[in-house]
Amino acid sequence: MSRVHRLKLAGAVVALAGAIVSAHVWGDASDKRGSLQPSGRKDAAPDVGLGNRLAADKFASQPVVAYTTRAGDTILGAQVRPALEAPPARPRDLLVLIDASASQAGSSYEMSQKITKALAETLGENDRVSIWVASTPTFTKCLTRDGGNDFQPAKSAKVADVLTRLETVEYPAGATDLKGALKSALATFDVRDARQPAVLMLGDGESAYSPISNAERYQLSQEFVGRQVAVFAVPLGAGVNPANLHGFATGTGGSVIRLMTTEQPTELARRILDTVSAPILYSTKFTLADGTLEVFPTRLPPLRSDSPTLVVGKVKGDVKTFALTVEGTVAGKPVKVDITEKVATPEIENYFLVSMFDQWSKADNKAAPALIRADRALAYAMQQSRLTLEEYVTQAHWALGDNRLDVANRLFDMALKIDPNDAEAKNGQDVVARLKTGKITRKQLLDEVIAAKKKTEGVKIAAGPDGKKGERINLGNLLVNSEQEPAAGGANQPANPILPAPQNLLEQARQQQLLAEQQIAGVVDETIRRAKSMLGVTRTAPTSC
């Protein structure tokens, strides 16, 4: 197989693997989807689905993880999950917003019909439902509107007629104006009634007709919070918009409810209503315990007992517990909740918390919450930081092999900014310094490259899902050899004191070409291996996140 063909194959495989990894982050990509809500912190670990699930196990057992910087600051990532008592049952006003865009044609739209019908059959006698179809502004409408009333009793003849119309008259077409549809839907709620309002989105979360920016999503979510209307979502479709699905749910106190493969619509409807009925704490004020210096977001979103909310902060080094008091309302009643969690012993592998804290502290809107639930956000940040670190170090190795010492030094420095304790990046900077002074020769470097090639077929990009790593240049061995075997001509001799003979130039060029080919072949082989391994744990492509 030619190098070009190998690179094309690697790109195709990595693209597919990347799509599946994204599905893992935003939802379960296996053919057996589980509920987003765990049955309990100890009994059911949150399913993050990143690689070998190490991150999921880590954050399931440690509600608050920490990292101590070299400056002595302690940065923590906390999963805030208050213990809330279920309020007395209230009659529900449920607005079902069905994505009727062309992207939903086929099984996705049929599933929306079945879920809506099952909900109407499962809702109680005092519950009301409003059924909407969302498409372009012209065709976005409430199907249950009768006179001036959008909400109708779930068992009414009007709702039965609408269910029939969904099957016989309405059809998916065009693009969705999700932003306009949500604004119009919110205006129909009368929050003065002692009822429980909620919006259920059925679809892929796209708003192709009028795309939604982060700022617009946050502002619209705040309008929902102001009226205490929570947004829930059942992702449906071949491609979904996780930022909208999770962003509106997390920002309003709702949740994303994933469809299980073997689950019947009636079973899903009961699970949806149970999730909708769970208590939501709308925060009006929160107070931090002594020792906590700063936290983000600066304003808490609505909190749930069945889904953790991410808080990243800076605390004093001797703080053993993370505690805060939240005041607000649950089902319209004032409450005051104390939340206390033990801070786990700081670990050097939690270096990703520093970048999370820095990014949040420099954000334009420091009050905006994380788009996804806390355990998934922490796992995703941890994985991405590791990949970025590995990328910088790998590129630094390539630069070393190409004798671009300044570039290699900058890349090692960038790696150390992510993880100041990374031993390989530290060794890399030492190797660069000794190459510049002549304490390590170019020949010694090339010898280590060839030795690494003999050990494995690939240059390491990152640890694969199976935990195995390929080989990079043995920087530690180079440093040891430089101490034991000074470069010819003395330790203080410049790296290139004289021009090499012509035959040596040819040999050096040949070795450089060999090195480049080894690096490219190794990267392609390792990329394909890791991608195939990732694809191996996924049996079928996802239809919902």
- The pLDDT assigned to 455 comes to 65
Residue 88: DSSP 8-state: P
- Helix or strand holding residue 134 (H, E): strand 128-134
Distance CA 146, CA 150 (A): 6
Residue 405: DSSP 8-state: H
Q: List Cβ neighbours of 507 (8 Å cut-off, separation of 6 or more).
A: none
pLDDT along the chain (545 residues), means of 10: 45 42 35 34 38 60 91 93 91 96 94 96 95 95 92 95 95 94 95 89 95 95 96 93 95 93 92 95 94 94 95 91 95 94 93 94 94 91 91 88 87 92 90 87 79 58 44 73 58 48 61 62 60 48 42
Q: Are 206 and 233 in contact (CB under 8 A)?
A: no
Beta bridge partners of residue 94, listed in sequence order:
129, 198
Token pair 């070393």 is found at 400
Cα separation of the two ends of the chain:
36
- The pLDDT assigned to 476 comes to 73
Distance CA 21, CA 18 (A): 5
Distance CA 223, CA 182 (A): 10
Distance CA 316, CA 354 (A): 15
CA 86 vs CA 251, 281, 306: distances in Å = 21, 11, 12
Whether the CA torsion 314, 315, 317, 319 is positive or negative: it is: negative
Whole-model pTM? Answer: 0.75
- The pLDDT assigned to 464 comes to 45
Q: Are 63 and 341 in contact (CB under 8 A)?
A: yes
Residue 355: DSSP 8-state: H
CA 218 vs CA 298, 300, 302, 378: distances in Å = 14, 13, 13, 21
**Helices and strands (DSSP H and E) totals, the chain:** 15, 14
Q: List Cβ neighbours of 364 (8 Å cut-off, separation of 6 or more).
A: 215
Distance CA 422, CA 347 (A): 13
Give pairs for 404-409: CB < 8 Å, separation 24+: 405/432, 405/435, 405/436, 408/432
**Residue 203, φ and ψ in degrees, nearest 5:** 155, -160
Distance CA 144, CA 274 (A): 24
